[in-house]
Amino acid sequence: MKELLETLEAWQREGVGFGRAVVVRTFGSAPRPEGAVLLVADDGRIAGSVSGGCVEGAAAEEVGRARRDGRSRVIRYGISDEQAWDVGLACGGTIDVLVEPEVPAPAIAAARDTASGRSGGRAIVTRLPADAPPPVFGPHQPGAGEPPIDPLVVADDGSSPDGKVDDAVSRAAVDVLNRGSSRTIEAAGEQWFLEAYPVRPRLVVVGAVEVGRTLVRLARDLGYETVVVDGRSAFATPERFPDVDRLIVAWPDEIADEIGLGPADAVAVLTHDVKFDEPAIVEALRRGCRYVGAVGSKKTQAERRARLREAGVSDADLERLHGPIGLDLGGRSPAETALAILAEIVAERYDGSGRSLVTVARAAATQPVGAA
């Protein structure tokens, strides 16, 4: 919902009432992911999307209905079928959409604060109405819904100011924040929608080399905050890295505290220099960074791992080290290498397979309809 903040705040200033529809579950080739939002104002204006245009009109009508009766409900939109859904998705997917008479205040606050960097990540936890569709594929007749219940808030460390979040829900909330994507779970006999408002992901590049220049540009395009660290002032210059958020001339392990290096960070070590890269690797692994990768041939990697093991790095931590770094895309130019590195970082963040989509589709075709 962060991308709709400007519209939301403008409507609030105008004093216009509005509700929302938000995707809480998807099956198949859904056009929008969980967490996609459609805002609908009382004067008929809309902003955002839950389906890329397929069911926007129907969803807007449901928001209007929710505004009139004050009840939240979950509507399932799927393949057009006269015995099932009246409104279908052209892509053949299915979505469950939570319709709310108002946008929950905690969601607005989380969107504002995380967008501005004023707070850590937060997950807004909403219990779905008891008559919401079950988490299995198939038609579902919309129920009467329920009056909205105030959502709960879970921070990125699993804590909650509400103090009453089920342990399974709290753990799942931390997971969606780490992944940066919303989803619905079952816990304590109920369904919960976990709406993720993560902090902006950060990529720390160790080594102001040519690959790093393209890597920074690509990462910026994907919404990452970027930091480049190098002890060589001749390489780490604004002219070489005009797109970077922060450029630091220093030894990488010496500025870890200064930049707050931690579990939410991805670290790409590109230096090819033992005195730079190995202290940086040790520090990144010690601090539990979500991704740690380092360039080098198989021989270099084997020698590096032996030295790191002698330095006290555990086998478990060495298993977390991506070296050689990046996916096997076949290219060897600096830009192609940067693309391979960022592709692996993204795949790691979302637990992606790194396989081609056609391969994934063929594998999925052998599973029963609705299988996970």
Q: Which pLDDT tens digit goes with each residue over 243-276? A: 999 999 998 888 999 999 988 899 999 988 888 8
> Which residues are within 8 A (CB) of 123 and not within 5 positions of it... i.e. 6 or more apart?
153, 154, 173, 174, 176, 177, 194, 195, 196, 197
Q: Is the pLDDT of residue 29 over 80?
A: no
Distance CA 361, CA 37 (A): 27
* Contact yes or no for 211/341 (Cβ under 8 A): yes
pLDDT at 151: 95
Task: Quote the pLDDT of residue 223.
Answer: 86
pLDDT (tens digit per residue) in 56-74: 999 999 999 999 999 999 9
Q: What is the pLDDT of residue 4?
A: 94
* β partners of residue 290: none
**Residue 175 pLDDT:** 92
Strands 225-230 and 246-249, by their bridges, are parallel
Instruction: Identify the pLDDT of residue 115.
Output: 78
* Residue positions counted in the chain: 372
d(CA 169, CA 68): 31
- Nearest-CA neighbor of 23 among 163, 179, 143, 195? 195
Residue 87: pLDDT over 80? no
Distance (Å, rounded) from C-alpha 220 to C-alpha 21?
29
Q: What pLDDT, on the 0 to 100 scale, is given for residue 88? A: 47
State the average pLDDT over residues 280-298. 94
| 3-class state of residue 43 by DSSP | coil
- State residue 295's pLDDT score: 95
The region of weakest confidence among 50-54, 152-156, 280-284, 342-346 is 50-54
Give the pLDDT confidence score for residue 86 in this predicted structure: 47
The domains located in the chain, with CATH, are: 19-197 (no CATH), 202-350 (3.40.50.720)
- Determine the pLDDT at residue 272: 83
Structure tokens at 122: 């937060």
* 137 CB neighbour count, 10 Å cutoff: 16
* Alpha carbon 138 to chain centroid, angstroms: 27
Angle at 112 between CA 287 and CA 245, to 5 degrees: 50
Map residue 181 onto helix, strand or coil.
coil
The contacts of residue 242 (CB under 8 Å, 6+ apart) are: none
What is the structure's pLDDT at 131?
96
Q: Is the pTM value of this prediction over 0.75?
A: no
Read off the pLDDT of each residue in 100-117 and give the average, rounded to a whole number.
Answer: 90
Handedness of CA 281, 287, 288, 290 (dihedral sign): negative
Instruction: Work out the average pLDDT over 328-335.
Output: 94
- Provide the percentage of residues in the chain whose pLDDT is more than 70: 94
User: H helices of 27-183, where?
Assistant: 56-69, 105-116, 167-179
Q: Give residue for tokens 């129907």.
A: 58
Q: What is the pLDDT of residues 338-366, one digit of tens each?
A: 999 999 999 998 888 999 888 887 887 77
Distance CA 372, CA 364 (A): 9
pLDDT of the residue at 224: 92
Going by pLDDT thresholds of 50, 70 and 90, the confidence category of residue 80 is very low
pLDDT given for residue 92 in this prediction: 60
C-alpha 103/C-alpha 232 separation (Å) is 50
Could you identify the residue written with the tokens 């190098």? 230
Q: How far apart are CA 307 and CA 159, in angstroms?
A: 38
Helices (H), the chain: 5-14, 56-69, 105-116, 167-179, 210-221, 256-259, 274-286, 298-310, 315-320, 334-350, 357-365
Predicted confidence (pLDDT) at residue 54 exceeds the cutoff of 80: no
